[in-house]
Amino acid sequence: MEPHTLPTFQIGDQDFLLDGQPHRILSGALHYFRVHPEQWADRIHKARLMGLNTIETYVAWNAHAPSQGEWNITGGLDLGRFLDLVAAEGMHAIVRPGPYICAEWDNGGLPAWLFRDEQVGVRRLEPLYVAAVTDYLQRVYEIIAPRQIEDGGPVILVQIENEYGAYGADKQYLSELVRVTREAGITVPLTTVDQPVDQMLIDGSIPGVHKTASFGSRATERLATLRKHQPTGPLMCMEFWNGWFDDWGTHHHTTDPELTARDLDAILSVGGSVNFYMFHGGTNFGLTNGANDKGRYAAITTSYDYDAPLDEAGNPTEKYFAFRDVIARYAPIPDEVPSAPRRVGGFSTPLSHRSNLLPLASSLGVASRHDALPTFDDLAHDRGIAIFTTTLHGNGPGVLSFDEVRDRAWIFLDGAPVGVLARDAHEQAIVLPRSTGELVIIVEDQGRVNYGPRIGEHKGLIGGGRLDNELIIGWAAIPLDLDRVPAIEVDHDDLAVGPVIARGTFELIRPCDLFLDTRDWGKGFAWINGFALGRYWRRGPQRTLYVPEPVLRSGQNELVILELEVLTQQEAVFAATPLLGHEDF
């Protein structure tokens, strides 16, 4: 009897080789950290039903290591379990651990704590940065190494960095990442990815690592550019942008299924491999969304639906079936198709208890005193909200100013609202009706920049606070732990003017996916049964928050919101379908 041989995966002269035979990768991006872990298997199964043979995921460093020295791989961060589910479905896996991932994710996946030391470099061969990255990658590779294909696991490719040619050209840094990767026991082929622009492909690659490209259209032209820089081996679009992300204040982005399917066909018709970015986008639950700043700050929405083949709630779209039809021309697909979703919605519940946030602040964080106004990072506060208080002793009206507001500040004087300073409007100063009394400032970090030169920047009110150009001395600061909000006792019936914590309950016969309608609220955060759904904002385009079935229960469920502005409707409404764009209502 012949001994059982484990499979092999290699890069050949023209093709990927699975057990020595030409193999086309048909992959879909599915970020485990954007999907409830009880729904991972469902999403993976639906990828196979579309005709895919591989699942690709980033690894979000700051999710696994929210504080220095911490390493969390439990629950929704159990990467090993996720990869095991991919294998159980009979599929392969591509892992892209960064350390930088972009992904419209907070800080591009880089931990905020890493940049509190101003000596730390960003994405370059700087010793402090490289030491932290090495520790991170070694931890990730402890999970990946035993799950490589030659060890009987699903992993066939590992990516080095991420679109590095759009940021830098430090070849020594890339080589060091390769060295760390190989020394940690990663033996599968390594790849880089860059946009198919000559200079980016030159700057973002190193010899011995296979180049791939990222694009969403003009496939023939862009594959030709890739081939010029990768003259041998398989052509692969590692990010086929079949949709796009949304930011607050713009429209919901969609792409035409028929046109996108043609671009897919153009890739496959020349023998190319593909990874759909995204196959299933999921949700930026909690405070995990990133932001862009290319002259105007734009925070990413909670929904990461991405107009992907599988929508935010895991349901197949028209695009899913259009792609399935194209794939069927090139590879076998299962006969099974996903079943239709069960829709429940169209009910409401009163927000029967409301309490003003400010008197509760001491229950959500520990106050500290400072001569100069601290930033979030001075407070070792990575995300969310902080409250700053001082006493003014001036005369008459005054001008309150800061060097920069990151990202939104609500100003109160003796408990009365004065106004808002917003980063996306480049606002830095506001007129106070008088320059005496208690000044309270609530500051929200709306998401750290995930792309470009502002990665790693500090948050909060930058440069101190000034009254009529004189530095204000003497501040109290409370960084809020928003995870505590659902447990706060709310037994008052205060006005629905923010900042206010409100609570309501609703009954379900049995759990199912829901969509919380936020159209009649202002700006804030929502939790159901203690699970952080994410941010909402009246400016849209997103008007519902996705509520995954696993966070709900039969019988009574509890909703808690933290409203920073105003509740024009003091009830919670659940819609039957998502409302992600202005065209939805």
| Whether residue 258 lies in the annotated active site | no
Residues in the chain: 585
What CA–CA distance (Å, rounded) separates 454 from 384? Answer: 18
Considering the candidates 104, 161, 163, 565, report the single residue annotated as catalytic. Answer: 163
What CA–CA distance (Å, rounded) separates 359 from 363? Answer: 9
DSSP codes, 317-374: -HHHHHHHHHHTTTS---S--PPPPPP---EEEE--EEEESGGGGGGTS--EEESSPP
Residue 424, classed as helix, strand or coil, is: helix
Closest listed residue to residue 101, CA positions, set 91, 92, 111, 93: 111
What CA–CA distance (Å, rounded) separates 186 from 184? Answer: 6
What CA–CA distance (Å, rounded) separates 105 from 447? Answer: 8
List of residues 6+ apart from 124 with CB closer than 8 A? 168, 170, 173
Considering the candidates 56, 89, 104, 239, report the single residue annotated as catalytic. Answer: 239
95's tokens: 């892992």
Please name the amino acid found at residue 18. L
Place of tokens 């606002």: 427
Per DSSP, 472 falls in state P
320's tokens: 């899913």
570's tokens: 């003091």
Q: Tally helices (H) and strands (E) across the chain.
A: 9, 32
| Whether residue 163 lies in the annotated active site | yes
| Active site positions, annotated | 163, 239
